[in-house]
Structure 1
Amino acid sequence: MTEDPSSAVAPHDIIYPSTIPFLLVHLGCITAIWTGVTWPAVALCVGLYWLRMFAVTAGYHRYFSHRAFATGRIFQFLLAFLAQSSAQRSVLWWAAKHRHHHLHSDTAEDVHSPRQTGFLHSHVGWIFARHHAGFDPAKIPDFARYPELRLLHRFELAPAALLAGLCFLIAGWPGLVVGFLWSTVLVYHGTFCINSLAHVRGSRRYVTGDDSRNNLALALVTMGEGWHNNHHAYPSSARQGFRWWEIDATYYALKLLAVLGIVRALKAPPERVLRGEQRLGARIVDRTARQLAACFDALPHVPTRASLMEQAKAMFAKTPSIEDIVDRAHELLRLKSDKGPVAAF
C-alpha cells in the first residue's frame, strides 16, 4: 500500500475499531486493583520495559530503519521478534514509516509532526489513520526480502501475545497486568514521546531543517533516543549521544554485543559532523531557508540580506551552509509577491 502524501487526518479517516485494542491495553492496567501487585510482577514490568525498549531503539530504529550496524540473520530475527513484542506493529511497517519521516521531517508530508498536526496527533493519533494502515514496500526493500520478516509482518501481534502468555505463566494475573500491560504502555509512550516531545522541547545543536531537539530526560527513559537533534544530524549513527556525557544506554549495549561478536560494523558520525562543520544538503538548506523566510513574511518589502543573516545567526546553530540558507531565503522572499506567503515548511 502506497502512502498518502497528506499527513492531515480527517475524522472519517480514523480507523476506530483499531483504537479499541490500544485503549483496552491502557484500561487493562487499571485491573491491577483486583489482580494485585506482586514483586515478581513488578520485576517483570521493569525487566520487560528495558528489554523491549532496547529492542525498539536498537531494532526498530537503529537497525531496521537506519542500518546503523550489521548482524547475522538469527539475531536480526530475534531483534525483530523482541521489537514486535512491544505491540508497535511489524518491523517492516515501523521502519518504512520512519524512513518516510526522515525524508519529510516536520513538513506537510511527515507522518507525525507536532508542527503540522499538533502534539496529540504526532504522539499517537497518526497511528490510527486509515492511510497509515499499510506501508510502502519500496521504502524497505532491503528487509522486505526476508521471508521470516514478512511472516512476522503477517502475524505482527503474535510476539506480543506469546509474551503476554509467558508473563501469565510466570506470575499469574499480576504478571499479565503489571508485568506485561504496564510495561507495554510505558514502552508505548516512551517511544511516542520521541515523535512528539522530542520535536517540541529541548536544545538544538545542529541545523537539521526540522524541529528535532536533544532532551536529557527523554534520553534517560528511552535508552538514548532523546538525543534526537544529534540523530537527525547523522541518522545512520549507532551512537546518538555524541558527547561523552550524553548517556546512550542502547549504544553501550550494542558495544557489548559487538565485543561478543553478535553485532558488528557500528557506524559513527564523522568528526566534521560532530563539530557541525559538514555542509548541508539541498533539501535541508531549503527547509531551513523557509523557516527563516517565514519570519519576514509579513513585511511589505523584501528584507536586506544583512537582516536575513542577522536573523539566521540568532535562529540557527553554527553551520558552514549559513550563506546558502540566507541566499535561498532571500530568493524565496523575492518570489513571494508572485506565489503568496512563504510556508515555513
Structure 2
Amino acid sequence: MIIVLFFIAHWYLSLLMQTFFLHRYAAHKMFTMSPAWEKTFYIFTWLFQGSSFLSPYAYGVMHRLHHAYVDTENDPHSPSFSSSLMDMMWKTKNYYNNIVKRTDSIDPKFKKGVPHWEFMEKIGDSWISRIGWGILYILIYVQFATSWWMFLLIPIHFLMGPVHGAIINWFAHKYGYVNFKVDDTAKNLLPFDFLMMGESYHNNHHKYGGRANFGFKWHEFDPTYPFILMLNKLGIIKLKPNNDLNYM
C-alpha cells in the first residue's frame, strides 16, 4: 500500500509542477509571480520531478516552438514527423539538450521572458542529482515493496517527466475528440481528465493557448485550475486579466 501511495504521489506532484510551473507559467505566462516564488517553484520542481527534472527554461522554449510550428518538421515533438513514440521522445531529448546546453539556433523571440535560474538548472540536470534520486526510489521500494511486480514501476519514476510529456505529445495528437477546429492534429484525449490534471484537453489548449482553465465542456474538469485560483487568491501568483490570449 505504501508503494502504491508513493507512486501516485510522485505521479501527481511531478505532473503538477509540469502543468502549473513549466507549462502554464514558463511557456505561456498565464500568470505572474515574484522572483522569490519563482525560485520556490523551481525547487519544488526539482523535489517533485526528482530524477526526471525538466528545465523550466528548456521546457518553456521548446513548448513555444511546439505551438508555433505544430505538426511541421520544425515541431520539436510531432507524431506526424516521427516513426514511433520512441523516435519522437529521442528527437525531443535532443531538442531539449541543445536548449539546455545553449547550442541551439532558436529565434530569441521564443526565449523572451522564459524563467531561468542557472544554479537550480545545473543541480536538477546533473547526473549526481538524477542518480541520487534514482537510488532513493530504489531504496524506498526495497524497504516497502510487498510484491515483485511493484519493482516494475521504478523505471516510470526515473522517467516521470518525459512520460507525462509523451502521453500528451504523442497520444493527444492521435486519439481523442475535438471541440474546436484548429490547424493541427491536437485532440482532447480524455473526457474527464483524472490522469493528466487538465493536460489531456489538448485541442482546447491549442485553440486558446493562453487560457488558464483547459476545460470547456461541463465534464471537462481541469484539476490544476482550482489550484491556480487558490494561489491567485492567496496572492502567490497573479492571473492575467485576459488569459484567453496566446503568449505571442
**Is residue 117 from structure 1 mapped to residue 91 from structure 2 by the alignment?**
no
**Contact 1:237–1:269, Cα closer than 8 Å, also in 2:** yes
**Counterpart Cα distance in 1 of 2:18 and 2:241:** 18
**Counterpart position of 2:162:** 188
Q: Gapped runs of 5+ residues in structure 2? A: 146-150
CA displacement, residues 261-320 of structure 1 (integer Å, 9 cap, x when unaligned): 2222156655xx9xxxxxxxxxxxxxxxxxxxxxxxxxxxxxxxxxxxxxxxxxxxxxxx
Aligned counterpart for 1:264 among listed residues 214, 238, 241: 238
TM-score norm. by structure 1 comes to: 0.57
**Conserved in 2, the CA contact under 8 Å of 1:63 and 1:69?**
yes
Q: 205-214 or 177-186: which moved more?
A: 177-186
**1:111–1:105 distance in 2 versus 1, CA, 3 Å:** same
- Higher Rg: 1
- Mean alpha-carbon deviation: is it higher for 254-263 or for 190-199? 254-263
Q: Does 1:94 align with 2:59?
A: yes
- Equivalent residue pairs, number: 230
The answer on whether the counterparts of 2:178 and 2:203 sit within 8 Å (CA) in structure 1 is yes
Picking from 249, 252, 265, the partner of 2:226 is 252
**Inter-CA distance 41–62: structure 2 relative to 1 (3 Å threshold):** same
Deviation, structure 1 residue 64: 0.5
Q: 1:157 aligns with which of 100, 125, 137?
A: 125
Look up the SS of the partner of 1:216 in the other structure: coil
The Cα of 1:188 is off from its aligned counterpart by 3.5
* 8 Å CA contact 1:238, 1:267 repeated in 2: no
* In 1, Cα distance between equivalents of 2:92 and 2:98: 11
Whether the 8 Å CA contact 1:101–1:110 is kept in 2: the answer is yes
Does structure 2 conserve the Cα–Cα contact (< 8 Å) formed by 1:69 and 1:266?
Answer: yes
Deviation at 1:79, TM superposition (A): 2.3
Inter-CA distance 59–180: structure 2 relative to 1 (3 Å threshold): farther
- TM-aligned CA distance change 1:46 to 1:237, over 3 Å: same
Indicate if the aligned counterparts of 1:200 and 1:211 stay in contact, CA closer than 8 A: yes
* 1:190 CA drift (Å): 2.9
Structure 2 counterpart of 1:58: 20
> Map of 1:301-340 to 2, 5 A cutoff?
none
RMSD: 3.2
TM-score scaled by length of structure 2: 0.77
| Residue number in structure 2 paired with 1:107 | 72
SS in 2 for 1:124: helix
Query: Structure 1 266/179 Cα, relative in aligned 2: closer, same or farther at 3 Å?
Result: farther
Kindly provide the amino acid, as one letter, of the partner of residue 80 in structure 2.
R
CA distance in 1: counterparts of 2:197 and 2:53, whole angstroms? 17
2:212 maps to 1:226: no
Distance 2:135 2:212 in 1: 33
1:142 — aligned with what? 113
2:97 matched residue in structure 1: 133
Query: 1-side partners of 2:9 and 2:164: how far apart?
Result: 15
Letter of the 1:156 partner, please give it.
G
Aligned to 2:10: 48
Secondary structure of the equivalent of 1:264?
Answer: strand
- 1:93 Cα deviation (Å)? 1.2
